[in-house]
Structure formats: structure tokens, C-alpha cells
Amino acid sequence: MGGMSVAQPVEVDRDVVDFAIVGKWMQEQGLPGGEFEGVTPLGGGTQNIMLRFRRGGRDYVLRRGPKHLRKASNTVIQRESRILGALGDTEIRAPKVIAACPDESVLGASFYLMEPITGFNPQNELPALHAGDPEVRRQMGLSAVEAIARLGSLDHEALGLADYGKPEGFLERQVPRWLSELDSYSVNDGYPGPQIPGVRQVGEWLDRNRPAPAKPGILHGDCHLANMMFSFDGPEVVAMVDWEMSTIGDPLLDLGWQIATRPEPGTTGAALVGSLGAVGGLPTPAEMIAHYGRFSDRDLTHVTWYTVLACFKLGIVLEGTHARACAGKAPKQVGDFLHAITLELFEKAHGLME
């Protein structure tokens, strides 16, 4: 027997995923053998590679870093498979890990296998049910809030995630950490420096108004609606995806992030969630905060502060692609698009500060 009967599906580059190696590794994990059938690449928001396939009567998705690994690619995959593995026995809506291979020497990159998700990403499509009914869209927004509230209420230590992040001083670190990230973009030739009005002013306001540290918990870290998969037959989130910014810290930043990225029709940022952003009908920030409170006992008096922090942090993250685009390392139109969103986020931050 062995792993020798595995034929390499033609459309997949062997340097990216060698199915003979994956097949042998799967047998070592006690997973069913047989031919790899129906291998299909899946698109995602990130540069990571995802392939769906069927083997031995079971469906899988394999996820690994990009073909040309970045410095942190393997670490990102290792952390993702670790947190998703820890969440596997909870009620949290997240992909279920079947098996993980953190050892990058096996395939040339860390990878993991997860169960496929049945649902749609609103960035790519909006089924007729959701497109036609504003109440369904409002409930989509509330389901996304519930998902992060439940996540932030978990006991991360009981799940074996005590060392998954550094919660002490989490809020104090944010402003200096992201300002130094912004400064680091100057290495990109052709980047004129951050043309973002009032960026230091927002940082100073955040430092002056910082709330007292709260009980640490799990953050998804990038929980806008384009990183959510929704049910085809209702408004429910079926899975939060793209966990690469997840950590242990103050989970209220996730609520701030959802409010900061709430798509408003007619804005550039709304385009991140495709036709859902264009039609709107999502819950108001006040409804989102009230709904979060139904699933969490956290103090919600400082949500505005967390929303400003989310605008600041996400704006700086997106500006990194703009800086890389100025140096020809990313498509110019993507860089321009993301820079426009950064400007909107900082405009929103200034409005909230007032």
C-alpha cells in the first residue's frame, strides 16, 4: 500500500503541495487513504493557499502559506491551526481542524487540514435571500457581533491558550506598536510617507483616554464582515475565517473593529464587502453594542475608545499595502483603494473623538 498510489492532480504545482507527501502524512495521522479527487483551489482574502479535495469518502481543505513564503507565513499557519484546534470543542463559529502539520520540513511549509465550510463570503456574493431583505442583513450584522462576543467570553487559559498572546499591557502597547509600524513603511522606495491627517493626534487622544485594563480574552483581531462566512439559508455566521491577527488581549477591540468597519453605502470601505456594502441595512453601532451585551458581561462604557483604536490600527495596517504599492511590490490600484479606506477610517476616528 504505502502512499505510492497517489497521483499528483495536474493543476496543482508540486512545489506548493506535493500530494504524494500529503497522502503519506495523512496515513500517518490515521486518515483514510485513496486517490485525491476533485482538487480545487479556493480563493480567500489572504495570500495563503487553500485547496479543497476529497479522499477516502471525506472532504478536506488544506491551508498553507503562499508559494513564496513571507517571513511570518509558517508562524501564521502554526498559530491559526493552534487556535482553531483549541476552539474545536467550543460553540464558537470557526473552521474545524482535522489535523495540523506545524513541521515545515514535511511539505516545505506548515499546513493544516480542516473541514470545508458551507456558506458564502459577502465580499464575493450575496444570495437573493440576503440581497432582498434588509432585516436578514440586519440580523447578519447582529450574528457577527454575537460571534465575537461569545469568543471574547471564553476562558482562554482553560483552552490551553495561556501563552497565545501577551495580555499584560496590551492596550498600552497598541499606539507605540502601530506608530512604529507606520514609521517602518519608509523603507519602501517611492512611498512619500504617511499622508494621513492627524495620525499622531489620534494616537495622543488614545493614550490620554485609555480605559483601565480589563479581563483578558481571545480576539479574532480582524473580524470585519469579509472575514465571516454566512449561511445560505439565513443570517447566521457559520464561520469566522482568517485568524492571522488573533491573540490574547482585550476582546472589546473586536467590537470596536466591527463598528469601525461597519459598511456604509457610498463609502470606499463598503466596497470591501461587495454588494452587502452597497445595499446596507446593517445594524447601527448602538444596536451592535446592545447586542454584544447580551452575550458578554464586559463593561461597554468605553466602546467609542475601542472603535477609535480600531480605526487607528486598521488604517495603519492597510497603509502598509499602499506603501508597498508605491514601491511596486503590490498592485497600484489595490494600494490606492486601501489608502482611501485608511483616510475614511481616520476621518471616522476624528469624528468619534469629538
Each residue's pLDDT tens digit in the chain (354 positions)? 444 456 666 577 888 899 999 999 999 999 999 999 999 998 754 578 999 999 999 999 999 998 888 889 999 999 999 999 999 999 999 999 999 999 999 999 999 999 999 999 999 899 999 999 999 999 999 999 999 999 999 999 999 999 999 999 999 999 999 999 999 999 999 999 999 999 999 999 999 999 999 999 999 999 999 999 999 999 999 999 999 999 999 999 999 999 999 999 999 999 989 889 999 999 999 999 999 999 999 999 999 999 999 999 999 999 999 999 999 988 999 999 999 999 999 999 999 999
Given its phi and psi angles, is residue 280 left (phi above 0), alpha (psi -120 to 50 degrees) or beta? left
Model pLDDT for residues 101-136, shown as the tens digit of each residue = 999 999 999 999 999 999 999 998 999 999 999 999
Q: According to the model, what pLDDT value does residue 14 have?
A: 80
DSSP letter assigned to residue 273: G
Domain 128-353 part of CATH 3.40.50.2000: no
Is 29 exposed, middle or buried (CB count within 10 Å of its CB: 0-12, 13-18, 19+)? exposed
Q: Yes or no: say if 104 and 110 are a contact pair by the CB < 8 Å rule.
A: yes
Relative orientation angle of helices 134-152 and 285-294, to the nearest 10 degrees: 50
Domain ranges in the chain? 19-114, 128-353
| pTM score of the predicted model | 0.93
At what angle are helices 285-294 and 303-326 packed, to 10 degrees?
A: 120
Range 19-114 classified under CATH 3.30.160.60: no
Per-residue pLDDT reduced to its tens digit, 270-291: 998 988 999 999 999 999 999 9
Q: Are 39 and 51 in contact (CB under 8 A)?
A: yes
